Chain A
Amino acid sequence: MDLNFGEFFQPVLLVKIVTLLIIGFYIIFSFVVFTQVKAMGQILSLPHAAFIFKLIAIINIVLALSLFFGAFVIL
């Protein structure tokens, strides 16, 4: 099988991989934010706060995942 290294690793493909990697790191980061929000909600209980912040953190994760799959399809 003839595999040309230069053709296989096109610059666009490389940029796409790097972009997906960065968004992947962001997804990990958004999970860390969610874990921290959950921990702070257990440490300090304020009216409605834990629920609202958890919801925002989940929305952040969903948006990050959507962007990752969106980028995977679009790019």
Chain B
Amino acid sequence: MTDIFVARTKNKESIIKNKDQGESNMNILASFCKDPKGVSFQTQKHNETIILFLRAHFITNLYWIIISFVLIVIPLIIAIFSSVFNIRFFSDPLISHFTTVYVLFYYLIVFSFIFINFLHWFYNVFIVTSERVVDIDYSDIVIHNIAVTKLDHVQDVNYTQSGFIPTLFNYGNLFVQTAGTEINFEAPSIPKPREATHIIGDLIGKT
């Protein structure tokens, strides 16, 4: 009997390809992700798998989101005031041309402010792999710093969670202490710090 409908089967090669690359199971804005797929970093080894992906809690962005909102609204408030009080300062063609350019430039700077702050949050990540701890810092627009240590160099891991807002949203600072002269690692304001501490602690125990 002839088939009326035959479901499409995926090509075997494409399945293997997807398995190797790992289809992403991670939300792009996630702050805490166990065994993320589709995430990799530059110095990652072939057999090295990412166990934990951390970045600051999204609520930590609130201060610059509020500042941005205020900056966006300020020219609108000035425009409303000038129309309500009938200020004729901007009616001069030359001044209105300059004002147009400055307002557009102002919004371009606000756009950059938002973009840079978002990048600062987005690329400040802390990764725990099967072999190493990787701390990627994007502290300024022209500075980025990458620190790496092997898991067997990690001596202690602990966290602090203090304050009303960190307790409410369950985030805190994670500290990874390393042996000898190597630098200590800090992952500030990460969500579920206790769970992250346990995961790293278990990994240290395994190695």
Q: A44-B125, A53-B119, A75-B97 are in contact. Are A32 and B142 (CB under 8 A)?
A: yes
Instruction: Say yes or no: A67 contacts B101, CB within 8 Å.
Output: yes
Instruction: Say yes or no: B101 contacts A60, CB within 8 Å.
Output: no
Q: How many residues of B contact A (CB 8 A)?
A: 32
Q: Which residue of B lies closest to A41 (CB)?
A: B123
CB contacts (< 8 Å) of A44 on chain B: these are 39-42, 123, 125, 136
Cβ-defined partner of B141 (8 Å) among A19, A33, A64, A74: A33
Q: Which of A27-75 contact B (CB under 8 A)?
A: 29-30, 32-33, 36-37, 39-40, 42-49, 53, 56-57, 60, 63-64, 67, 70-71, 74-75
**B104, CB-defined interface residue at 8 Å:** yes
CB contacts (< 8 Å) of A60 on chain B: these are 108, 111-112, 115
Which bucket holds chain A's interface residue count?
20 to 34
Cβ-defined partner of B105 (8 Å) among A29, A43, A48, A67: A67
Q: Which of B1-57 contact A (CB under 8 A)?
A: 24, 26, 28, 38-42
Residue of B104, B116, B136 contacting most chain A CB atoms (<10 Å):
B104
Instruction: Say yes or no: B144 contacts A39, CB within 8 Å.
Output: yes
Complex CA gap A60/B109 in Å reads: 10
Instruction: Say yes or no: A23 contacts B105, CB within 8 Å.
Output: yes
**Chain A proximity of B104: nearest CB distance (Å):** 6
Q: Can you list 22 residue pairs at the A/B interface with Cβ under 8 Å?
A: A19-B98, A19-B105, A26-B105, A26-B109, A33-B115, A39-B144, A40-B119, A40-B123, A43-B123, A44-B125, A44-B136, A45-B39, A46-B26, A47-B28, A49-B122, A53-B122, A60-B111, A60-B115, A63-B108, A63-B111, A74-B97, A74-B101
Binding site for B on A (CB under 8 A): 12, 15, 19, 22-23, 26, 29-30, 32-33, 36-37, 39-40, 42-49, 53, 56-57, 60, 63-64, 67, 70-71, 74-75
